[in-house]
């Protein structure tokens, strides 16, 4: 076991959804610890609660029972505004369907999180630095030749690359990826995973990736399986 303390933890987490008076228990006691610099995949069948777990760890939702900790501090019970601020600082998110803004170019999409984070004045003062940073990020994901393109003018793989650049422009500690290859053909999906592996290896980016695809999951340094509301450790592979 590594000596590095966990950076992000779910502790005895349970999640029960309420739907028209019915209780739907999805997570039934999950303990999950992520260390800085890891590339972990969570595998599980559709409906097993993978997205639910990712949302809880990324402070998009709260557990019914249990706790989320960042660097040993409980964070799930913080006031909403503090959690929002923490979420924006700590996490980058990517999703199966990219969620790019259709009216904006690749460059504008990547700048959007900085625009939203800052006041207009702060953004205006820093715009040259931000644009340089956004262009560097777009270069890292291999999309420099598509700066002015809109999402509708991109392939699926290119849209996911743009979404990765957008998720990373504010320099989060952890990238949470929910089925990042779910809408891509196998070869394009493999390119996205190779990019995540490169960012993990070269930038020490911590990545938690959810997938239902065994071959995609196998690319991670550590795999856990979600089944019947609980996590099982699968293997510690050489990434
Ligand atoms: P996965 O990502 O593994 O496919 P999810 O976490 O999306 O699974 O969903 C797990 C279960 O919880 C599913 O049965 C789903 O229908 C249910 N569920 C998810 N979100 C909600 C919600 N907001 N309200 C009620 N049930 C939900
Ligand atoms: Mg899901």
Q: What is the pLDDT of residues 69-111, one digit of tens each?
A: 999 999 999 999 999 999 999 999 999 999 999 999 999 999 9
In this prediction, residues 194-222 reach a mean pLDDT of: 94
Is the distance from the beta carbon of residue 44 to the nearest atom of ligand 1 less than 6 Å? Answer: yes
User: From the CB of 229, is ligand 1 less than 6 Å away?
Assistant: no
Does ligand 1 have an atom closer than 6 angstroms to the CB of 24? yes
| Average pLDDT, integer, range 119-134 | 93
43-64 pLDDT, tens digit each: 999 999 999 999 999 999 999 9
Best of 52, 56, 60, 225 for a ligand 1 pocket test (most atoms within 8 Å of beta carbon): 52
Per-residue pLDDT, 117? 83
Instruction: Report which ligand 1 atom has the smallest distance to the Cα of 46.
Output: 4
Would the CB of 19 count as within 6 Å of ligand 1? yes
Q: What pLDDT digit, counting tens, does each position of 150-161 carry?
A: 999 999 999 999
* Mean pLDDT estimate for the chain: 93
Mind spelling out the 3-state secondary structure of the chain?
Answer: CCCCCCCEEEEEEEEEEEECCEEEEEEEEEEEEECCCCEEEEECCCCCCHHHHHHHHCCCCCCCEEEEEECCEECCCCCHHHHHHHHHHHEEEECCCCCCCCCCCHHHHHHHHHHHHCCHHHHHHHHHHHHHHHHHHHHHCCCHHHCCCCHHHCCHHHHHHHHHHHHHCCCCCEEEEECCCCCCCHHHHHHHHHHHHHHHHHHCCEEEEEECCHHHHCCCCEEEEEECCEEEEEEECCC
Q: Is 47 in the pocket of ligand 1 (CB under 6 A)?
A: yes
pLDDT at res. 239:
42
pLDDT at 235: 57
Q: How confident is the model at residue 2 (pLDDT cuts 50, 70, 90)?
A: low
How large is the average pLDDT for residues 193-205?
A: 95
């Amino acid at each position: 076991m590594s000596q590095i303390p966990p950076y992000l933890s779910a502790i005895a987490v349970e999640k029960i959804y309420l739907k028209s008076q019915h209780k739907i228990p999805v997570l039934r006691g999950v303990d999950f610890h992520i260390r800085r610099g890891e590339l972990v995949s969570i595998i599980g069948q559709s409906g097993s609660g993978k997205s639910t777990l990712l949302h809880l760890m990324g402070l998009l939702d709260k557990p019914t029972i249990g706790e989320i900790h960042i660097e040993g501090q409980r964070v799930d019970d913080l006031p909403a505004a503090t959690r929002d601020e923490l979420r924006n600082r700590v996490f980058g998110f990517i999703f199966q369907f990219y969620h790019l803004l259709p009216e904006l170019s690749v460059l504008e999409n990547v700048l959007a999180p900085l625009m939203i984070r800052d006041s207009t004045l702060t953004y205006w003062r820093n715009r040259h630095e931000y644009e340089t940073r956004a262009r560097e990020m777009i270069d890292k994901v291999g999309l420099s030749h598509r700066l002015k393109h809109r999402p509708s003018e991109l392939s699926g793989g290119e849209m996911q690359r743009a979404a990765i650049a957008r998720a990373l422009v504010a320099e989060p500690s952890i990238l949470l990826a929910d089925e990042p290859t779910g809408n891509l053909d196998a070869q394009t999906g493999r390119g996205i995973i190779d990019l995540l592996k490169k960012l993990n290896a070269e930038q020490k980016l911590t990545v938690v990736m959810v997938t239902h695809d065994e071959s995609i999951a196998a690319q991670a340094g550590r795999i856990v399986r979600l089944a019947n509301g609980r996590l099982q450790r699968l293997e510690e592979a050489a990434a």
